[in-house]
């Protein structure tokens, strides 16, 4: 079933620069009906209606509980979700997403999502979870791994029929709790490109995407996987206002080009005339392909300034946000995916337990090992032949064939490594490996905490009621 991208708008207070300029406030909001009123120096005010509006005194806690909470619940159930902040430089995007950890009510959307995920896993008694994370940036149209050993290495964006859009070589990090996610966020953010401009002393010079992957093993044996993309976009800039020169100016040019490409993607959906959506015009739009018109549940947070000095930029942001409401996605639960890391762990755990129970029969003889090698090789060759037949019969593109071949080869190499590893493992090593694997899983730590379970149910119901009230008033 199709659903629209949900769009909310947040207006920050006047900053010091705007106060010093004696800027007038040109933005008003009516939260009861989700309306933003933008008043220019002349003419009638312009009005926009969104799924939620939050004025200067609104907290990140309020935004999260009312709008974001249901989306993160869906991710835990096996959906894919994206939250991205959009707006001019200095409009409060990074603050909204990351916030201030030192003040509880000012923690941003990202740390609240971390807390939420591990609160949910802890109170679940009928499933086990594997949670891991990645963190990348798009800087000058190059994708870098903010948590990798080499932060300057360029990574390639790939597309697979089952995996969808992904970044080859992006490092994954297992997370056992909220603090582990926070540490990764802090480590990656320190590697991110930032720089001072006249508009913002800590201006993000890159787009960043922190992704949390949640794999769920239910008691009935089925596996579900969800992922949450937490996107902090660099802001659109006007050189006359930001005063950028040299490298800052080059960065701004790349930022504006990628944001323009994002705007073109949004416009292509709204216009409805073109069947072609220009995802490939930038790295950003390629990575957001599944979020805009794909299989994700998506929230766009439009961040604006209340200052009359920024009227044009605010109007531009509101217009893009208004168009984004018309994008339709088709979210679906990801059930029993072939590439689930959790399934690999489960299979390895079963093998290790069988080996330990056998104890004295840990090592297969060389003939049995050779037979297993040959069987594995035969299965791989059969899969390759089937792929060739599909290519001939269905006229798949050469690029698609190469992608699927690479995936099959990766599976074969992993299986071969596991076979060799198991053959040379002794009981002590098997027990150590088993302990390491079992520690990767989380879930059920607070299964008997009825108060916490009830609190989660109340939050979900309150968020649903909020949306029902808003829908009735629009």
Contact yes or no for 174/131 (Cβ under 8 A): yes
Two tokens at 455?
């609190």
Closest residue by Cα to residue 151 from 232, 197, 198, 208: 208
* CB burial readout 263-276, b (16+ within 10 A) else e: bebbbbbeeeeeee
Q: Please state the residue numbers annotated as binding site.
A: 87-94
Measured distance CA(101)–CA(233) in Å, rounded: 20
**E-only strand ranges, 305-381:** 328-329
Which residues, in sequence order, are bridge partners of residue 395?
none
Measured distance CA(216)–CA(458) in Å, rounded: 23
Q: Please state the residue numbers annotated as binding site for ATP.
A: 87-94
Question: Within 10 Å of residue 359's Cβ, how many Cβ atoms?
Answer: 9
Measured distance CA(466)–CA(446) in Å, rounded: 28
Contact yes or no for 169/145 (Cβ under 8 A): yes
Measured distance CA(372)–CA(416) in Å, rounded: 9
Closest residue by Cα to residue 296 from 331, 325, 326: 331
Closest residue by Cα to residue 327 from 1, 41, 104, 4: 4
DSSP tag of 226: E
Two tokens at 397?
């593109």
Closest residue by Cα to residue 131 from 146, 116, 149: 116
Q: 460 Cβ partners below 8 Å, 6+ apart? A: 69, 70, 73
Residue 294 Cα distances to 10, 115, 134, 329, 387, angstroms? 25, 27, 21, 5, 26
Closest residue by Cα to residue 289 from 329, 333, 340: 329
Q: What spatial distance separates the first Cα and last Cα of the chain, rounded to whole Å?
A: 23
């Amino acid at each position: 079933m199709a659903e629209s991208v949900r769009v909310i708008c947040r207006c920050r207070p006047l900053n010091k620069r705007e106060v010093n300029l004696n800027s007038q406030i040109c933005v008003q909001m009516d939260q009861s009906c989700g309306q933003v009123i933008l008043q220019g120096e002349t003419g009638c005010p312009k009005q926009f209606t969104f799924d939620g509006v939050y004025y200067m005194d609104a907290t990140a806690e309020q935004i999260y509980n009312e709008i974001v909470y249901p989306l993160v619940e869906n991710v835990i159930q096996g959906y894919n979700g994206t939250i991205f902040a959009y707006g001019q430089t200095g409009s409060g995007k990074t603050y909204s997403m990351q916030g201030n950890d030192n003040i509880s009510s000012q923690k941003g959307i990202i740390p609240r999502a971390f807390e939420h995920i591990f609160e949910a896993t802890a109170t679940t008694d009928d499933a086990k979870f594997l949670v891991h994370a990645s963190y990348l940036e798009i800087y000058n149209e190059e994708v870098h791994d903010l948590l990798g050993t080499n932060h300057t290495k360029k990574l390639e964006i790939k597309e697979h029929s089952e995996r969808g859009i992904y970044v080859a070589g992006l490092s994954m990090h297992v997370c056992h709790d909220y603090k582990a996610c926070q540490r990764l966020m802090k480590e990656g953010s320190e590697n991110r490109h930032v720089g001072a401009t006249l508009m913002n002393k800590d201006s993000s010079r890159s787009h960043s995407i922190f992704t949390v992957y949640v794999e769920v093993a239910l008691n009935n044996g089925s596996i579900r996987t969800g992922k949450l993309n937490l996107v902090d976009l660099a802001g659109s800039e006007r050189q006359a206002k930001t005063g950028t020169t040299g490298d800052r100016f080059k960065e701004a040019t790349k930022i504006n080009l990628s944001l323009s490409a994002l705007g073109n993607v949004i416009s292509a959906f709204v216009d409805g005339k073109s069947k072609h959506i220009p995802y490939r015009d930038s790295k950003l739009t390629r990575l957001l392909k599944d979020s805009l018109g794909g299989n994700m549940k998506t929230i766009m947070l439009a961040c604006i300034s209340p200052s009359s000095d920024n009227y044009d930029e605010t109007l531009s942001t509101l217009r893009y946000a208004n168009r984004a409401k018309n994008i339709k996605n088709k979210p679906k639960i990801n059930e029993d995916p072939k590439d689930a890391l959790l399934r690999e762990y489960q299979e390895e755990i079963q093998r290790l337990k069988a080996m330990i129970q056998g104890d004295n029969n840990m090592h297969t003889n060389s003939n049995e090992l050779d037979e297993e090698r040959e069987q594995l090789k035969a299965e791989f060759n059969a899969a390759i032949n089937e792929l060739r037949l599909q290519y001939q019969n269905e006229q798949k593109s050469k690029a698609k064939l190469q992608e699927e071949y690479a995936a099959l080869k990766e599976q074969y190499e992993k299986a071969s490594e596991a076979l060799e590893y198991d053959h040379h493992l002794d009981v002590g090593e098997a027990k150590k490996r088993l302990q390491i694997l079992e520690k990767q899983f989380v879930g059920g730590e607070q299964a008997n905490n009825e108060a916490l379970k009830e609190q989660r149910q109340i939050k979900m119901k309150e968020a649903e009621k909020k949306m029902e009230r808003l829908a009735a008033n629009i």
